[in-house]
Amino acid sequence: MKQSALGDGLTVSSIGLGAMGMSAFYGPTDEAEAIATLQHAVDIGVTFIDTAEAYGPFENEKLIGRALGSRRDEITIATKASSETDDDGTVHGRNGTPEYIRRACERSLRHLGMDVIDLYYLHRVDPKVPIEESVGALADLVREGKVRHIGLSEASAPTLRRAHAVHPIAAVQSEFSLFARDMLHNDEKATADELGIGVVAFSPLGRGTLTSGIRSLDELAPEDARRGLPRFQPEAFAANRRLVERVESVARERGATVAQVALAWVLSEGVVPIPGTRKRARLDENAGAAEIALSYEERMRLADAVPVAEVVGSRDGIDAEVGVDR
């Protein structure tokens, strides 16, 4: 697996693995297959593993600890301080206070069964707390040796600048795919590049839309959280599937899958994708994208195949207030 540089001296596998769906949001889970997938990821070099206290809550971090605790030195673990969550799983609102960030970090370390977190994100900016205070708390964790690098998720360009002035930010994580290109138009990507901050893309496959795996809403489990998202409503899904069919034509010519060319496009923008999957076969498919070098013409054809103005539905209905500091 190729490697990609983020910021603050952090290097990760060019394709990462988002582990969220192994424990939450996407319907029934299979722990045995999840553990096998996590271990297989390390075997093939997909060693950048992304989780958060919110996934479960807590269950995803515990799963990763069980699956990969014995292979700690082979992996780069990223997790996040999310909305304030009690130990019993009760979730409150955003909390970016130093007190909560410290408590969340200590708890994540226990759940992971590890003594240091490689990349620790503030999951969402708390509009009630100056970003300088939140980042100051993250910086203290670095100085104490509990965290190696820090990051933000869904942060605006001005917030990135203020945060980076307090302590080097290694990465900013945002949704980014052929279906979601906000960061190219709101200065977030340009600012990150200027400051030497790496960019990590969650949902780089449009929450499964940009794959061959979901061709009908009937394929989603009844409790799958995507059923509540704007882009997964019947009319929106049908319209967006027509855009995916255009991507399929480019993929066929390249001898690749839709997912592979979609991920290769993200990589070509200088962004590290962390596609989520719960199965080894999909993991192998996603990892293959790192070997695809798109030509300029192919990159333009893929971008033109999915005009932003033709994507139906807003990108995130689970957290409608992403980037409130924007």
Strand residues in 51-97 grouped as ranges (E): 76-81
Q: In whole angstroms, what separates CA 61 from the centre of its chain?
A: 15
Count the neighbouring beta carbons within 10 Å of the beta carbon of residue 276.
Answer: 23
167, 143 in Cβ contact below 8 A?
Answer: no
CA–CA distance, 107 with 289 (Å, rounded to integer)? 35
Sign of CA dihedral 71, 75, 110, 278: negative
Tell how strand 198-202 and strand 117-122 pair up.
Answer: unpaired
Active-site annotation, residues: 55
Q: How far apart are the first and last CA of the chain?
A: 35
Torsion angles phi and psi, residue 123, rounded to 5:
-60, -40
CA–CA distance, 142 with 286 (Å, rounded to integer)? 32
